[in-house]
Structure formats: C-alpha cells, structure tokens
Amino acid sequence: MPIRFDHKPGLVIYLTVGDPSLEATREIALAAIDAGADALELGVPFSDPVADGPVIQRASEHALEHGTSLKDVIGLARELRAARPQVGLVIFSYLNPILRYGLSKFADDAAAAGADGVLVTDLIVEEAGEYLAEMNRVGLSPIFLAAPTSPDERLQAIAEHSKGFIYAISRTGVTGTRQSVAGDASELVSRIRRWSKLPVAVGFGISNAEHVAQVAEFADAAVIGSAIVALVERSTPETAAGAVARFIKGLRLPQAAPAR
Amino acid sequence: MASIILPANPSESRPGRFGVYGGRYVPETLVAALDELERAYNEAKKDPAFQAELYTLLTEYAGRPTPLTFCKRLTEELGGAKIYLKREDLLHTGAHKINNALGQGLLAKRMGKKRIIAETGAGQHGVATATVCALLGMECVVYMGDVDMERQELNVLRMKLLGAEVRGVSAGSKTLKDAINEAMRDWVTNVRTTFYILGTAFGAHPYPTMVRDFQKVIGEEIKKQILVKEKRLPDAVIACVGGGSNAIGAFYEFIPDREVRLIGVEAGGYGPKLGEHAARFRGGLPGVLQGAFSYVLQDENGQIAQTHSVSAGLDYASVGPEHAMLHDLGRAEYVARSDQEVLDAVVKLARTEGILPALESAHAVAEAIRIAPTMGKDEILVVNLSGRGDKDMGILARELKL
C-alpha cells in the first residue's frame, strides 16, 4: 500500500518500540495515529545507535533492557495494521538486527505483517543491492535518507531507488531537538525535487508547531522523533499515549488544519 | 548464518571490499566526507612530496625503522623456535599507532582540516593523535570510554598535557566501541570541518585500506631485517588483534609468502561465554558494526555483545574486515589467549629480556610462548611487539600484587 500524506502538512511520527514497554508503545502508536499521524516509523532499538542523539540512545537502552527485538517490532506492525488499515507503517532499523534476523525472512515477515516501507539508517544505496531486490520482491518501499552533504549525483541515485517517500535530513548531525530548522533543509528538498516526484519528509530536530510550519513551506511532511521520544520519557506508561496525542494535535497550526 | 548484503555483482572486486567483508555502512551524511577522504588519500598516496614528508617524520620524529630484537634468553628457556621481537614499542609515544596518526594527520593538513577527532581504547592511539596534532598545530578532541579512562589514566594525562581535550563516554560498556560511536556522532555533526583520525584498520571504506597502508611498513621492515639476520623468511609472524591495525601491518607484506604462517591473537578474556572475552573469530558472526561488514560478537537479536579483556586495546566487539577475509581464506590463523596467560607472558618477557610489553602486545607474546616449545630450534617466530607496557603499570601492580 502506498504511504499517503492526506493531511497538510503530513506528519511522520517516530517511536522507539519497547520504550517504556511493548504494550505502552502500542497504545502510544494508536493514539498518535488517531491524533493525525499519517505514518509511523517503528524504531527497532539497537545497542549502538551511531546516528542518534542522547534521547533515542536512552530510549533504545530502556527498550533493550527488557529484550525488545525486531520480531517484536514486526508483531507490533501487524497489530497496528489490523487496527488502523489506512496509516503508513515504516520499520526503522540499523542494519545488523535485520542481518541477524535474515534479510529474506525479514522482507517476508515485514510485508506479511502489513508494513509499507523500511528505512535502514546505516545502509546507503551503493551497499543496498540485495536489500533492494528483497524489498522489490515483497513489495515493500525502501526509504533512503538524503543529507545536506549529499551531492546531486547521490541524490539522483537515492531518488532512483526510493519508494514511498524520501527522508531529507534537515542538517548534519545526530537525531535530537534543535532551536530552528536549518536553511540547509529547504535547499536540500529543492535539490531532491529535481530528481524525484516522491513526497519528501524532513526530519532531525523538528520538535514543535513552528518547525512543522516552516517545513510545510517546502516539504510534504515533517518527521518528529526525539521530541516524541522525550515526551514519552517524561510521561508515565499510563499518561504517555494521552500526552503524545495532545502534542501531535498541537503540531499543526490552526491555519494549516487537516485538509479533510 | 546472517544474510550478507553484497554489491550488485559480488565477483566484481571493488575498492573497500575484502572478499565479502568491508564496505561502507554509515549514515548518508558521512558518505560525501568518506568520498572526499578517499579521493584525497588516493592523490596523496601518489604524491612524492606527501610520501617524502611522511618518510621524514617516520624516521626523524617517530624513530623508524624499529629494531628486530633476538630474544636469546627467552628462546633458550623455551627450548624451541628462535623468537624475534619487532620493536614497535620503541617508537615515539610507545606504540605502532604513531605510524597511522602521522599519515592521517598529514592527510588532514593537506585537506585543510583544522579540527581532529579520534577514539581511543588503551589510549595509545589517543596519545599518538594528540602528539601529531601538537606537532602540526591542530585542535584535537579524543573520545574515550569511562572504564578505559580509569584503567589507562596515565595516557589520559599524557593527552591532556599534549593539549588534547579528552571526552569521557559513559554509554554502553564505556569502552572502545562506545568511544567510536561518540566519535562518529561528532563527525556526523561537524563533518564539514572535522577530520576523523580512526586508529585501527576498521570502519567504513577507505579507513581499513588507508590504515593498513600506513601500518604495512612494519611487515616490510620485518622482511628486510630477518633476511639480513637469518637469510630466510620466518616460519610465523604473530600479532595481537583488536581492530587489527598492528596485525595487518605486520602480516600484509607476507600474505603472498604462503610458507609464512600468520597468527593473529585475540583477547580470550576470562572465559568462553559471550561477554567474557573479545575473540570475534571464536564467538562472532558476520554482521555490521560502525561502518564495516565483518565478524561481530552479537546476541541472537543482532544486538552487539559486551566484551571483556584485561587489555583495553583489544576489548572490542568486531575486527578489521581484511582479517575477516584472511580468516575465511585460511591464510591467517586466529587464536585467543586468556587474561591470565597474558599476565604470565608480561612477567616472563620482563624477566628474561628486560622488556615490558603492553597488555595488548603480550597476547602475541603469550602465543609465542605457547607454540615455540613445539617447534624446532631451526624455526623462527617473529612477534610484533606493538607497544610498551608503562601505561599498564596500574593494572599490573593490582593483578600481579607487585
């Protein structure tokens, strides 16, 4: 199923699965969808998250303390697909847990669970031959990151191999909240548009309605990660879903209300 | 067995691949910087002026060539093969790490980068990098796990004295792997201004190739020196393997010489279970960590395992991809020696030869002590003594109850 951004601006919500617990992530995910998230990135916790800042590092540690695995994430995707057929579901992982699970088995199981796409943080297009073949075989969308440092020839390759949407990194650095959205981001998105007609989502450092409004001026969707994960960390397992729902509802300013 | 992500055509040999191993598994943000580094390195490699400047520093500053020392008393006591030590411990800063730090430091200068970052385990690479930054007038930030800062405190103080900022890392097992994570996060953030001097033959392409090239002088010198002394090649070259830079440096020249056994010694720690050692070829599976596809100690969910070694420099969950290839090809053998065997080897070498090896290097010494008695008196072992042991006096005092 294609990932659709029916709301303007589109919202992609990242969750570290298993933080604070698998059950809590399920409740938070459902609340996020009902509050207006167009797509969810279901983050597979990893012991060595080199692309992530302190917030997602801590969340990953919490999730790993009680053994959250890729299998659990696929299981959660299956439940969410059954409960909310329309939402976009992306499995977001570092490569090693997928290799250990078995690339081909992962592709089969993720597709059967009803996931729409996969984003592998540390897999670049040049290394993705077998991965792309597997994604294509089962009809999953491979989503690649594009960075402000990516030259045009790389953006062209990223555009050529991406499906679903392209994830534009707002600035160099790890995940985490920032004061403002860098000027890097709009330039990057306009460069991506030269090579691709896919929707472009901007992430890294997007943490409030003002950021979302800035992103909406030049991109199709904003990805909110660390701000949500930090909110989950500040909440109790019982209050997290409600807090996340209120936060997401507040991300679209009144003039940019849902289009439907 | 983990599935392997291969380039489109696996038979196509391409830069950065050692058989199926190696590659470039990094966040997209770093790819342009790795491409820039690869281009700059390939140009520098062919530039006689760069090579001449590096040669001058290696000879007049670092102290190359290092001697090949015959261990007369140790050989007699063991009663078997003749044991030679390649004395990288005599280099400026006390270990082979300076070979690579000088090479990458000159490359950073050539690329116009003013800010240097590095990771360090035992502190030897951190000290070498801090030294080169002082020499070349560059800003230096070194990431080091909290556990390693405590057990290698002397090197922390040396780095500070040399003007480097040492940033402690409290994540994970607080050792080398976690220091590399934090250095990668710094690099991904400051990629436009910063040069990452990676200390071992690991990580994303071009690092494993570049670091090996800067270290292969070790094996080239061994070959020349042993041919002068013995008029023939050694029967085996032995080196400890953490990330694997001193080992690949010692082995590389001998890879075509099939009659020379290449023996890599990993950290056996205190037991065979996951978490008790850092022997990647005994308990690891192919996987991806910190930029490279290689053998990785990991659990059934693909999470990277905790490791243990008495030596901070070998306490790492993965291993250089060229070693992974040599392992699979059977061209090099990989064994593991325990913490206790290593401590015994330190004492033995100190008291028979008056040489105090680093705990890392003592793994190679321990293997030589184990196999020399099984070999004939006309056979020859060369041990790469990658570093000196002054930095380990705190651990040695405690473990040996001095």
Per-residue pLDDT tens digits for B298-319: 999 999 999 999 999 999 999 9
Residue A174 pLDDT: 87
> Mean per-residue pLDDT for B236-242?
98
Mean pLDDT of B377-400: 97
Q: Is A41 a catalytic residue?
A: yes
In chain B, which residues touch A (CB < 8 A)?
2-8, 23-33, 171-172, 177-178, 181, 184-185, 188-192, 285-291, 296, 298, 300-304
Does A153 touch chain B if contact means CB atoms closer than 8 Å?
A: no
Quick one: angle between helices B321-329 and B207-215, nearest 10? Answer: 80
User: Å from B335 to nearest chain A CA?
Assistant: 25
Please state, in angstroms and rounded to a whole number, the distance separating the CA atoms of residues B352 and B214: 32
A151-168 pLDDT, tens digit per residue, is 999 999 999 999 999 999
| Confidence (pLDDT) at A140 | 98
**Extents of the domains making up chain A:** 10-243
Which one of A52, A109, A116, A220 is the catalytic residue?
A52
For residue B97, count other CB atoms closer than 10 A to its CB.
Answer: 33
- pLDDT at site B5: 45
Q: B181 CA to chain A: closest CA distance, Å?
A: 5
Q: How far is A244 from chain B (nearest CA, A)?
A: 27
Mean pLDDT, chain A, integer: 94
Q: Which amino acid is at B264?
A: G
pLDDT, tens only, A206-217: 999 999 999 999
- For the cut 60, the answer to whether the pLDDT of residue B163 exceeds it is yes
- Whether A129 contacts chain B with CB within 8 A: yes
Per-residue pLDDT at A1 = 60
Categorize the per-residue pLDDT at A238 as very low, low, confident or very high, splitting at 50, 70 and 90.
very high
The reply to whether A46 touches chain B by the CB within 8 Å rule is yes
CB B225 within 8 A of CB B251: no
Q: Which are the contacts of A18, defined by CB distance < 8 A and separation ≥ 6?
A: A25, A45, A62, A63, A64, A66, A68, A72
Record: contact B185-A53, CB cut-off 8 A: yes
The shortest CB-CB distance from A48 to any of B7, B28, B304 is to B304
Nearest by CB to residue A99, choosing from B2, B26, B185, is: B2
What part of A 231-250 touches B (C-beta under 8 Å)?
A: none
Distances in Å between the Cα of A175 and the Cα atoms of A82, A133, A226 are: 30, 29, 7
- As a CATH number, domain A10-243 is 3.20.20.70
Confidence label for B99 from pLDDT (cuts 50, 70 and 90)? very high
pLDDT digits (tens, 9 = 90+) for B277-290: 999 999 999 999 99
Residues of A in contact with B39 (CB under 8 A): none
**pLDDT of A84 over the 50 cut:** yes
Residue A193 has pLDDT above 70, yes or no: yes
Cα radius of gyration (chain B): 20
Residues A13-45 pLDDT 10s: 999 999 999 999 999 999 999 999 999 999 999
What integer pLDDT is reported at residue B160 of this predicted model?
98
Three-class DSSP category at B355: coil
Task: Give tens-digit pLDDT for B17-52.
Answer: 999 999 999 999 999 999 999 999 999 999 999 999
Global pTM?
0.95
Mean pLDDT of chain B: 95
Would you state the pLDDT for residue A181?
A: 75
Contact B289/A48, CB-based, under 8 Å?
A: yes
Band (pLDDT 50/70/90 cuts) for residue B13 is low
Asked if A51's CB is within 8 angstroms of B287's CB, the reply is no
Q: How far is A242 from chain B (nearest CA, A)?
A: 30
Nearest CA in chain B to A126: B7
* pLDDT for A259 beyond 90: no
Q: Is the pLDDT of residue B86 over 80?
A: yes
pLDDT category at A121 given cuts 50, 70, 90 is very high
pLDDT reading at B137 higher than 60? yes
Contacts of A183 (CB under 8 A, 6+ apart): none
- Residue B133 is a catalytic residue: no
Nearest to A223 by CA among A201, A254, A245: A201
In this complex, do A98 and B302 lie within 8 Å of one another by their Cβ atoms? yes
pLDDT, tens only, A10-19: 999 999 999 9
